[in-house]
Amino acid sequence: MEELVKNFLKQNNIIITKPCVVAVSGGADSVCLLHIMINLGYQCILAHVNHHKRKESDIEEEAMRALAKELNIPFELLSYNHNNIGNFENDAHHARYQFFRDVCQKYDTNVILTAHHLDDQIESILMKIMEGSNLYGYAGVPVLTTNDSEFVTIRPLLCVSKEQIYKYMEDNKYPYFEDISNKSDDYLRNRIRHHVTPFLKKECRDIYNKISEYSTQAHEAFSFIRNESIKYLELNLGRIDTTTFNDLDIALKKDIISLMLEGYNIRKNKDIILNILDILSSSDGNKKLMLMQDYIFVREYNLGYIKKESKISNEILELGLHDRTIFNGKYLFYFSKNKPNSNVKSIKLCYNMHKLPFIIRTRQSDDEIAMSFGTKKINRLFIDEKVAKDLRDDIPLIFDNDNNLLWVYGYAKSIDITKEKNDGDIYLVCEEKENE
């Protein structure tokens, strides 16, 4: 078994030079992985999670603590108690991997090992096919995953079967725990394990090699497509340009959309991706699609992008000569006698020509601004400037106390402000902050 794992890591060009944080539950798979890696000469840390879901959990924790002591390696524990709010499996998964990352940082490493094996691979692929996924999901569990560009998760046992693991444990008389819930048919994975996998093994004696070949080819195809998606979004600053996008291959288009959704941690499915494709191929250049967590996909003219949904602000604020006022949680306004830095927007004016305090608010239907060629409706200004519809109710308008519109932030200044530019003695400054 040691030679199998050693050759498997070599075939996949995996070189481990740092300590390994080994996720050990106490079951045959993870205890097997720990012994193999130690026998191969790797430096290991035993990382155990007690979920407190079974009465045997505390016994298993003590046994893993004792095993680490016997092997003379560090033992790290996460005592996890779920709050019974939300999805236990999802929450526990995130808690486990955050724990493994924390252990990595403690021991100055970035290597996490998990005990997924070939039978797990069969189950994972079949589950993804039944549930629906993308090419990456259909490919099953990868040998190596890079997390956050900092941590790597490696699965050295993806070259061996469950049967081989049991034989290895019995031959070496290594003790382990068997989770009784694995025998239940209450879970889809268990039903596949008990009824589908045995049938596949009977029908195809080479099923493990066939599954491995399939997984490798699917991951290679996904890797190529994903690299092209990354290049496209980098070139287009994270947005989709329909003038280039609609000529791309459909597989690449779908993955570009998937990558965008992943960047905002938005759960994706076939319907969402197809709806976005419809929006991008439509002759109507202005559409939007509600996603989740207050995010929307927006098509404005030839650009498609994801943003947090704008909430129309009814906020009306006053700005006195010595005030510093934050509007809509994003725009900091104040007066300054000194010329501001070039990285902020400002207007120069004669403050004694305008009645204070100034009023800051967003647009109303009849707002208009006086310019050199006459007055212009703000709604028309935004259309002419091609301001995205979802941004129009976020842009501050600044009035003096006689209700003269002086400045449409970032887009237009009134004729009075234009005339005062050379004679003005004070600046109205706006610093744009990132939303919290």
pLDDT at residue number 149? 67
Same domain, 202 and 330: no
pLDDT at residue number 88? 77
List the CATH number of the domain containing 296: 3.30.465.60
pLDDT at residue number 294? 79
pLDDT at residue number 38? 97
Same domain, 105 and 158: yes
Same domain, 395 and 372: yes
Residues of the chain with pLDDT below 70 are 85-86, 148-149, 310-314, 434-436
Tens digits of residue pLDDT in 116-148: 999 999 999 999 998 877 888 899 999 999 876
Tens digits of residue pLDDT in 174-193: 999 987 777 888 888 899 99
pLDDT at residue number 436? 40
Same domain, 256 and 357: no
From residue 123, how far is each of 91, 94, 197, 397, 417 by CA, in Å?
22, 21, 8, 58, 69
pTM for the predicted model, two decimal places: 0.66
Q: Residue 260 falls within a domain, yes or no?
A: yes
Domain with 299, as residue range(s), is: 236-308
Same domain, 322 and 352: yes
Domain count, the chain: 3
Same domain, 261 and 346: no
Same domain, 257 and 323: no
Same domain, 304 and 321: no
Same domain, 6 and 73: yes
pLDDT at residue number 86? 66
Same domain, 201 and 336: no
Same domain, 140 and 286: no
